[in-house]
């Protein structure tokens, strides 16, 4: 089973491109951001706790997101592949994911990393904030903080997966269809 991490900074287009890969390959899509927003909408204790971090542009604690992924992975049966979107976001999460997958004789196939320049990210996030109403996409200071948190805590995953020979950089600029095509042809070769 293919186990793919769709990786990149906030605004790189991970959610949009995950949808394209799901439609094309019938993969299962696991987005920790979507799962957390569903918890917030349902006003669960986990959601209320997570909202404080999300609104500040900070990461939700590792144990919370690892717990959510663990529950979902236990439920996944035979599918052509899984796409992780927005997870892992720290080296601790990556190590925990490796352990979970090893215990069911699986492993990460590739880290598909969408590479987008900083100014383009800010432009896209502000635009998305206007249409989606996502509170973490409307304030420039929160957006800049999310990008800084990405650089400090998430970007080191590139080294982690490079050492494992699994890092696949993909140009994340151009039209949505052009980027999807790049991703699809990369996945076709796996
Ligand atoms: P996203 O939709 O992936 O941009 O996630 C929105 C927000 O949810 C992030 O800015 C974090 O606050 C939180 N979040 C999502 N996934 C994770 C994760 N794997 N680890 C920690 N926080 C996360």
Digit-coded pLDDT (tens) for 15-26: 999 999 999 999
Would residue 70 show up in a list of annotated catalytic residues for this protein? no
Q: pLDDT category, 80, cuts 50, 70, 90?
A: confident
- Taking a C-beta distance cutoff of 8 angstroms, is the pair 170, 179 a contact? yes
Burial of 18 (0-12, 13-18, 19+ CB in 10 A): buried
State the pLDDT at residue 136.
Answer: 83
Catalytic residue among 14, 51, 124, 182: 14
Render pLDDT for 145-173 as a digit per residue (tens, 0 to 9): 999 999 999 999 999 999 999 999 999 99
Cβ–Cβ < 8 Å for 78, 135: no
Name the active-site residue from 51, 89, 124, 182: 89
pLDDT averaged over every residue in the chain = 94
Q: What pLDDT, on a 0 to 100 scale, did the predictor assign at position 135?
A: 78
CATH topology of domain 2-180: Rossmann fold (3.40.50)
Give the confidence band of 137 by pLDDT, cuts at 50, 70, 90: confident
Residue nearest to atom 6 of ligand 1 (CA): 33
Kindly list the domain boundaries of the chain, sorted by start residue.
2-180
Q: Which two tokens stand for residue 1?
A: 């089973």
| pLDDT beyond 80 at 78 | no
pLDDT band at 79 (very low <50, low <70, confident <90, very high): confident
Spatial separation of the C-alpha atoms in residues 128 and 105, rounded to whole Å: 39
């Amino acid at each position: 089973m293919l186990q793919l991490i769709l990786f990149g900074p906030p605004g790189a287009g991970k959610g949009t491109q995950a949808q394209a890969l799901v439609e094309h390959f019938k993969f299962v899509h696991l987005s920790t951001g979507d799962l957390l927003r569903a918890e917030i909408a349902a006003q669960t204790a986990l959601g209320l706790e997570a909202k404080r971090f999300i609104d500040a542009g900070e990461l939700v604690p590792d144990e919370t997101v690892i717990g959510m992924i663990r529950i979902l992975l236990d439920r996944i049966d035979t599918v052509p592949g899984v796409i992780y979107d927005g997870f892992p976001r720290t080296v601790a999460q990556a190590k925990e994911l490796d352990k979970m997958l090893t215990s069911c004789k699986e492993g990460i196939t590739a880290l598909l990393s969408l590479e987008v320049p900083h100014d383009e990210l800010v432009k896209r996030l502000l635009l998305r904030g206007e249409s989606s109403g996502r509170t973490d996409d409307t304030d420039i200071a929160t957006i800049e903080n999310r990008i800084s948190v990405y650089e400090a805590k998430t970007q080191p995953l590139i080294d982690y997966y490079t050492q494992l020979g699994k890092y696949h950089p993909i140009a994340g600029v151009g039209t949505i269809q052009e980027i999807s095509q790049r991703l699809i042809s990369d996945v076709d070769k796996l």
